[in-house]
Chains A and B, each alone.
Chain A
Amino acid sequence: MNLSPDNIIYWQLGFFKLNATIVYTWGLMLVLVLGSKTITRKLTTELQRSRWQNLLEIIVTGINQQIEEVGLKNPRKYLGFLGSLFLFVAMASLFTIVPGYEPPTGSLSTTAALAMCVFVAVPMFGIEEAGIGRYLKAYTQPTIIMLPFNIISEVSRTLALAVRLFGNMMSGTLILAILLTITPFIFPIIMSALGLLTGMVQAYIFSILATVYIAAATRAREPAAEADTTDRKDNNHVN
């Protein structure tokens, strides 16, 4: 019973191991890149467009709208990073329909890598938008005593991103594997559908959390004139 696709090794040359995680990640990359290339080969703005182009437009404008709703002023700039995060994790979970497929996000290596990407991207976008001085000053924001706690919270939320995605994906595949040995007929199909649902939700959660972290880092540090999502000083306390 292997806990992650890291343990399925297809080929080995000394130190370098070609395990199932790498192979399925390459397969996903191939599908995503080739699919986008073929769909966007004949882009048109006519009323009659291919349904695949329609699908891609729905996805792109949907992600754009979500980024804007969270409070990032120029969503196009972040669309590449956040859209890729969402699409990769969503596709990785969607392909569990294909038999014999192990989602690469079910391995802690992949989710840790994705979380490290977010960890690096947040200061990068923050410094690009707000400048180094203002970005670093935000760490001492309520008082200077909060500086170690802010740093710890940065690290711990990255860890939480990785473990959350890993735990959800791994538990889905593990439950399926266990059920297949106990009641192999109808119940695994239901659990597989549930796994698909949680995979999509986790993809959305991952990208929305990355968006919220980037928005918190790039937001102007004045207390007034804020975006609508996080109300630290709202004057209508509903409780």
Chain B
Amino acid sequence: MDSMTLIAIISILTAGLTISIGSIGPAFGEARAVATALTALAQQPDASATITRTLFVGLAMIESVAIYCFVVSMILIFANPFWNSAIAQASGQ
């Protein structure tokens, strides 16, 4: 198969794999974080403002890993430089 088809196949495959495997870890991490935060809230309800704020900050940091994977997969699908250069070569011929 020619290079354009190969680029397309691998880009699509990698995009799907990136986002699917990449969201497993953050999901587990966020679940553990929220569970621990709920335990802490149950033990000390008057620290709830600090716990809630720290929980949100921690969740945002964990979530960013999933966001990185999402951005990579979006780049592979919509702004793929190899695909663009392959198209430019094919249309230039």
Chain A hits for B61, CB < 8 A: 160
Q: Which of A1-38 contact B (CB under 8 A)?
A: 1, 3
Residues A69 and B56 in contact, CB atoms below 8 Å apart: no
Residues B74 and A1 in contact, CB atoms below 8 Å apart: no
Chain B hits for A1, CB < 8 A: 78
Q: Which of A196-230 contact B (CB under 8 A)?
A: 201-202, 204-205, 208-209, 212, 228-229
Give the complex CA separation of A37 and B68 in angstroms: 39
Rounded to whole Å, the gap between the CB of B79 and the closest CB of chain A is 6
Question: Which residues of A are in contact with B by a Cβ distance under 8 Å?
Answer: 1, 3, 66, 69, 160, 163-164, 166-168, 170-171, 174, 201-202, 204-205, 208-209, 212, 228-229
Chain A hits for B50, CB < 8 A: 69, 228-229
Residues A163 and B71 in contact, CB atoms below 8 Å apart: yes
Query: DSSP class of A's interface residues: helix, strand, loop or mixed?
Result: helix
Interface residue tally for chain B (C-beta within 8 Å): 17
Interface centre among A3, A167, A174 (most CB of B within 10 A): A167
Residues B74 and A164 in contact, CB atoms below 8 Å apart: no
Residues B53 and A208 in contact, CB atoms below 8 Å apart: yes
Chain A hits for B64, CB < 8 A: 160, 163-164, 167
Residues A209 and B60 in contact, CB atoms below 8 Å apart: yes
Q: Which of B45-93 contact A (CB under 8 A)?
A: 49-50, 53-54, 56-57, 60-61, 63-64, 67-68, 70-71, 74, 78-79
